[in-house]
Chains A and B, each alone.
Chain A
Amino acid sequence: QTVVTQEPSLTVSPGGTVTLTCASSTGAVTSGNSPNWFQQRPGQAPRALIYSTSNKHSWTPARFSGSLLGGKAALTLSDVQPEDEAEYYCLLYYGDAQYWMFGGGTKLTVL
């Protein structure tokens, strides 16, 4: 059973920078896993931020960026704002068996 692992929680100061990561139990995350990142605030539906590793949607703030880092997918938030406090989920695609897997989520606190 594939497991996708994210940091359970992170804390960052307003104006700071933080990187969230997403690892796969099957090995290094690659562009073939097409990493997606989503933001979910309490009581709301998820909102897409990043697709295909590093591409931003038209609504994604410029301070969010995606990359591959040391065999993991990564989401970096720069100049963090109070409204960035939320749960963040990564999503990986496994084309060999045709399924998708979400990470367990990272609760980001802005303090």
Chain B
Amino acid sequence: EVQLVESGGRLVKPGGSLRLSCAASGFTFSTYSMNWVRQAPGKGLEWVSSISTSSTYIYYTDSVKGRFTISRDNAKSSLFLQMNSLRAEDTAVYYCAKSAITVTDFDYWGQGTLVTVSS
């Protein structure tokens, strides 16, 4: 059974940093691209970042470029999101989502971790 478990979300002050983790199991992690998607309270879904199997290809939405860094550790079946210079508008539930065999498609999602940016 595919499982994605996010962790690391908490209350952080504006300008602060946070590192989110996503522990994957139930599939061969190293052979699938992975993604982060966020959802602000009461709002819709927003794609944040994607990373290819060997970390060769990395993409970000414009609003987080230069502040967030996606990475992965295939040996530990883990996905990460380093978030720096956090702003109030980064407040959201952050979901880890697995890409399907076709890298443009998403299939499995974690339950999310809440990041709150507030003074």
Using CB atoms and an 8 Å cutoff, list the residues of chain A in contact with chain B. 34, 36, 38, 40, 45-48, 51-52, 57, 89, 91, 93, 95, 98-105
Indicate whether B47 reaches chain A with its CB closer than 8 angstroms: yes
Q: Are B95 and A51 in contact (CB under 8 A)?
A: no
Distance in angstroms between the alpha carbons of A3 and B108 in the assembled complex: 25
Q: Are A45 and B109 in contact (CB under 8 A)?
A: yes
Q: Are B110 and A45 in contact (CB under 8 A)?
A: yes
Distance in angstroms between the alpha carbons of A96 and B52 in the assembled complex: 17
A interface, over-half SS: strand
User: Which of A51, A89, A100, A105 interacts with B107 by CB under 8 Å?
Assistant: A51
> Using a CB-CB cutoff of 8 Å, which residues 40-90 of chain B contact chain A?
44-47, 50, 57, 59, 61
Total number of B residues with any Cβ neighbor in A under 8 Å: 23
Q: Are B106 and A36 in contact (CB under 8 A)?
A: yes
B interface, over-half SS: strand
Query: Assuming A36-B106, A47-B109, A102-B46, what are 10 further A-B pairs, CB within 8 angstroms?
Result: A38-B45, A45-B112, A51-B107, A91-B45, A95-B104, A98-B59, A99-B47, A99-B59, A99-B61, A102-B47
A to B CB contacts below 8 Å, 12 in the list? A45-B95, A45-B110, A45-B112, A46-B95, A48-B105, A51-B106, A93-B104, A98-B59, A99-B59, A99-B61, A102-B37, A102-B44
- Residue of B37, B47, B97, B105 with highest tally of chain A CB at under 10 A: B105
Contacts of A102 in B (CB 8 A): 37, 44-47
Q: Please, what's the 1-or-0 string for B90-119, where 1 marks a CB less than 8 Å from any CB in chain A?
A: 000001010010101111111110000000
